[in-house]
Structure 1
Amino acid sequence: MNPLEISKLFRVSGRFSEAHPFGNGHINDTFRIRNEVPGSPDYVLQRINTHVFPEPEKLMENMSGVISHIKHQKRYAHLVPELIETESGAFFVKTESGFWRMYRFVEGAKSFDRAENEQQVWEGGFANGSFLKALESFPIEKLYTVIPDFHNMVTRIRQFEEALETTSKERKEWAFDEIISIQKKKATWIKMFQSAVTGNIPVRVTHNDTKFNNVLLSEHSKKSCVIDLDTVMPGYTFFDIGDGLRSAVISANENESDLSLVVVNEHFYQSYIDGFIDGSDGLLTSEEKQLIPKSGGYMAFIMAVRFLTDFLKGDIYYKTHYAEHNLGRAKNQLYVSALFEGIS
C-alpha cells in the first residue's frame, strides 16, 4: 500500500491528492498528505523505523499517553501535535509496507534547521523547557524505555570500542584522527555522566531528541509545538538542554564538512538557556542548572561517538548520502563539543 492508501485507514476528513516526502529526519519516513477539500486539514503520515524502534506498539503507548497528558492541560495543549486514530480506535496501523502513524498537520508553524534570530532561539528553548514542565506530574513509571542507555556515555563508548574491534582495516584508517580524538576525551565525559547520575540530579520525563528543528515555531510567541516524540522516556534535563544547544546555537548543522563555517553564536547560546529556564517555570534544581554549561559539549560528543560508531559498523543506523557521511558528522560534532568547552 502506498501512503495515500494507508491514509484512508485513519479517521481523516477530506479528499487527498498527493503524498510527498516531508522533513529531513535521519530515522523515520515522513510524508505530508495534501487535502483537496477547502477548510479540511492536511496530515502528516510517518512510517516508524522498526530497526531503530523494535517495539513500536510500546513506543506509541508512550507517545499517546504523553500527548494526552499534555493536551489535558489548557496552558500546554498547543505544545504537542494531535495524533489521529485509525478506524479501530488505535493510534497506529501495521501493513505489509510497515508500521504507520498519523498526525494532524500543524498550521501556522514552521520548522527551521537553523535559527535565524535570538527570538527564534528563545522560543525553541522555551518550548523544550515547557515540555518538561508539562510532564512534571506524568507518572514516569508508566513509560517504556524506548532505547535503553540512549545518552549514557559509558554505554556509547563501549559500543564504539566494540565497533572498533570488528570494523574493517579501511574504515579504521579513514577514521584514525576521530578515533584518537574520542579516546583522548572519553574519560572527561564519562566522569561528567557518572558524577551527574550518581548525584542529586532527578530523573524526569525528557524528550531526548531536542534538535532545533524538532520544534515547530509558531507565528505567536510561546505557542510553539514540540514534535518527534519517539524518544520520550526517563532521562536527565542536561540531555534536553544540551541537544537543543548543539543544534540551535551553532552556525551550521552536523552535515557541514567545512569546519571554518561552524561557530557558536554566544548571543543565541544565552537566549536558548534563558528560554529553556523560563519555559521550565521553576522546575530545574540548582544542581540541574549547574550542569547547563557542560551540557552542549556532552551532547555533541555523544553524537560524535554515535556517528563514528555507525560509520565503523558500516552505516546501519543513520541515513547517509555518501560513503563518509557519518565520518564527516563525527568530525563536525567533535569540533562542536570542543567549541562548547571553550565557553563553558
Structure 2
Amino acid sequence: MSRVVDNDTLKQVLTHYRCSIDQCTVSPLGNGLINSTYLVSNIKTNFVLQRVNKHVFKNPQDVIDNADLINKHLLAKQQHSLYALSPIWQISTINQQPMVIDAQKEYWRAIQYIPDCFTVDKVETPEQARQVGSAFAQFTAALSDFPTTSLTETIADFHDLSKRMNDLRAVINTNAQQRLSSCQTLVDFCFAQQDFIDEVASLTLRLPLQVTHNDTKINNLLFCAKSNQPLAVIDLDTCMPGYLMHDFGDMVRTCCSTLAEDGEDLANMAVRFDIYSALAHGYIEAFGDKISALEQQSLTVGAQLLPFMIGVRFLTDYLDGDHYFHVKHQSHNLERAKNQLNLYHLLHKNREKLDKIITDCAITLN
C-alpha cells in the first residue's frame, strides 16, 4: 500500500482531533513496512497519526483494544515501581471514538507523542544491544501476569511456522505472478530445512505462552534524549500470546547481521556475535527468575527461527505479487528473502556457539 495520503483525506481525519491541515505540519514518521505513520505538529500539540493497514490487520479495532489493555496493565505496574519504562497512550477523537474511518474506508488512529526522545534504526554497539534486550525483556516480564487470553490475535498464526510453510506451498502451486523460476533454488532451500521445522514444532508444544511484542526491532524503542536510555516500547500492533524465543529471535535477526535486511552483498554477511552476546545478557538479566530454563534454552532456536520465518514470508510475498510488505521495486521482497535465509544459514551453522553464549550468560547472571 502506498504511503502517500491526499490532503482531502488528511483534512477529514484531522478534524476529528481538533486539528486543521492549514495550521499544522504533517510529515512521514519512521520506516515501518506495514502501517503508514505521520507526525502532526502545530503550536498547541504534537501527536502521531497512523493509518492502520486493514489488509494486514483484518480488524483494526482489535489492534487498538489490545494496546489499551496492555498500556493499562503497564501503567499499574509503573505506579507500583514494577515497570521502569513508560506506557504510550492512544488518543480518542473529539467524539471519544478510538479511531477514524475515512471516506475510502481506511482506519486511522492518533497516538501520544513523547517529546525529547529519539529512535535508532541500527544497533551500533554492544551497549545498545544490551539496552534493547533489557527493554523488551522488561516489557514482557511486566506482562508475565497478564492473562494472554484477554488479547485478540491481530494476525492469526503470526509466528506459526507450519502455517508460513503452507502459505509458501500455496503460492508455489498457483505461481500467479510467474516468478517461481527466478527463485526455485531458494524455495528448495526452505523445504530442505524440515528437521529444523520439526524441532520448532516440538518445542512450541512445551513452551508457556507469554504476551510477546513480536516486532522487537531497536526502532520500536524510544530513547530519552537526556539519558540516552530506553524510555518506552512502542508499536504494540502485533502484541499477542507467543513465546519468548520469538521476541529474542526478532532482536537477533534485526541486530546481529552485518548487512541491512535487504542488503545484497551476501558473500560478506557475517553474524555479530558481540551484539548477540549483549542482547542475550540484557534479555536474560532483565527477566531474572521470570524466565524458565526451557525458555532460556529456546532462545537459540528463536535466533534461527525468526530469520528463517521472515525469509519464508518475504519469499511468499514476492511469489504472490508483493501484497503484504511495502516494496521499492519488483525484486525487493526477493532480495529480502535471500538476505534473511542467508542469515538463518549462518546462525544455523554456528548453533553451538549461540548455545554456549546463552549458557554462559545464564551462569554469569546466576
Tell me if both proteins adopt one fold, taking TM over 0.5 as the criterion: yes
Distance in 2 (alpha carbons) for counterparts of 1:169 and 1:317: 15
Once superposed, what is the RMSD of the aligned Cα atoms? 2.0
2:38 is aligned with 1:35? no
Q: Which moved more, 1:78-87 or 1:132-141?
A: 78-87
Partners of 1:115 and 1:237 lie apart in 2 by 21
Query: Are residues 1:48 and 2:36 paired?
Result: no
1:25 — aligned with what?
32
Instruction: Name the count of aligned residue pairs.
Output: 338
Aligned partner of residue 24 in structure 2, secondary structure:
strand
Local SS of the residue matching 1:268: helix
In the alignment, which of 219, 224, 230 is matched to residue 213 of structure 1? 219
Among residues 92, 109, 124, which one is paired with 1:116 in the alignment?
124
The corresponding residue for 1:314 is: 321
Equivalent residue, structure 2, for 1:68: 72
Q: Does 86-95 or 20-29 show the bigger shift?
A: 86-95
Residues 316 and 253 of structure 1: CA distance in aligned 2, closer, same or farther (over 3 Å): same
1:256 aligns with 2:267: no
User: What CA distance in whole angstroms lies between the structure 1 residues aligned with 2:109 and 2:75?
Assistant: 18
Match for 1:235 among 209, 223, 242? Answer: 242
SS at match of 1:32: strand
Deviation at 1:123, TM superposition (A): 0.9
TM-fit CA distance, 1:261 = 4.5
Correspondence 1:107 to 2:115:
yes
| 1:175 partner amino acid | C
The equivalences for 1:277-292 within 5 A come to: 277-292=284-299
Residue 301 of structure 1: aligned partner: 308
Alpha-carbon offset, residue 11 of structure 1 = 6.7
2-structure distance, mates of 1:248, 1:206: 18
Percent identity, aligned pairs only? 30
Cα gap change, 1:99 to 1:139, in 2 (>3 Å): same
Question: How big is the shift at 1:342?
Answer: 2.9
Q: Give, in whole Å, the separation in 2 of the partners of 1:254 and 1:48.
A: 23
Deviation by residue 1:147-170 (Cα, 9 ceiling, x = unmatched): 121111111101101110001474
Unaligned regions of 5+ residues in structure 2, if any? Answer: 1-7, 352-366
Match of 2:170 in 1: 162
8 Å CA contact 1:4, 1:19 repeated in 2: no
User: Cα 1:67–1:321, aligned 2, differ >3 Å: closer, same or farther?
Assistant: same
Deviations for 1:171-230, whole angstroms, at most 9, x for unmatched residues? 111111211111111x1332122111222x101111111122222233436543111111
| 1:1-25: CA deviation from partner (whole Å, max 9, x where unpaired) | 4335523413789x95210111111
Distance 1:279 1:218, change over 3 A: farther
Summarize deviations over 1:33-60 as a string: whole Å, max 9, x none. Answer: 12234xx4x2110000001111111221
Kept after mapping to 1: 8 A contact 2:177/2:321: no
Return the match for 2:9 from 2, 8, 30: 2
The secondary structure found in structure 1 opposite 2:90 is: coil
- TM-score w.r.t. the length of structure 2 is 0.87
The structure-2 alpha-carbon separation of the partners of 1:329 and 1:67, relative to structure 1 and needing over 3 Å to count, comes to same
| Cα distance change on mapping 1:252 and 1:213 into 2, 3 Å | farther
Unaligned runs of 5+ in 1: none
**1:202 — aligned with what?**
208
Q: Given that residues 152 and 193 in structure 1 are in contact (C-alpha distance below 8 angstroms), is that contact kept between their aligned partners in structure 2? A: no
Alignment-derived partner of residue 88 in structure 1: 95
Which amino acid in structure 1 is aligned with residue 275 of structure 2? F
Cα distance in 2, alignment partners of residues 121 and 197 from structure 1: 26
Task: Decide whether the 8 Å contact of 1:47 with 1:101 is kept in 2.
Answer: yes
The answer to whether the Cα contact below 8 Å between 1:120 and 1:217 also exists between their aligned partners in 2 is no
Paired with 2:36 and 2:132, the residues of 1 have a C-alpha distance of 24
Once the two structures are superposed, residues 236-277 of structure 1 have per-residue CA deviations (whole angstroms, 9 ceiling, x without a partner) of 110001001110122222111122443211111110111112
Please report the TM-score for the alignment, with normalisation by the length of structure 1: 0.92
- Structure 1 counterpart of 2:47, which letter? Y
Matched, 1:327 2:334: yes
Alpha-carbon distance in 2 for matches of 1:336, 1:156: 18
The offset of 1:309, in angstroms, is: 0.5
TM-fit CA distance, 1:312: 0.8
Secondary structure of the 1:148 match is coil
Moved more, 254-263 or 230-239: 254-263
User: 1:277-311: CA deviations, max 9, x gaps?
Assistant: 22223211000000112211110000011000111
Report the residue type matching 2:66 in the other structure.
N
Q: Is the contact made by 1:121 and 1:249 (CA closer than 8 Å) also made in structure 2?
A: no
> Which secondary structure does the structure 1 equivalent of 2:27 belong to?
strand
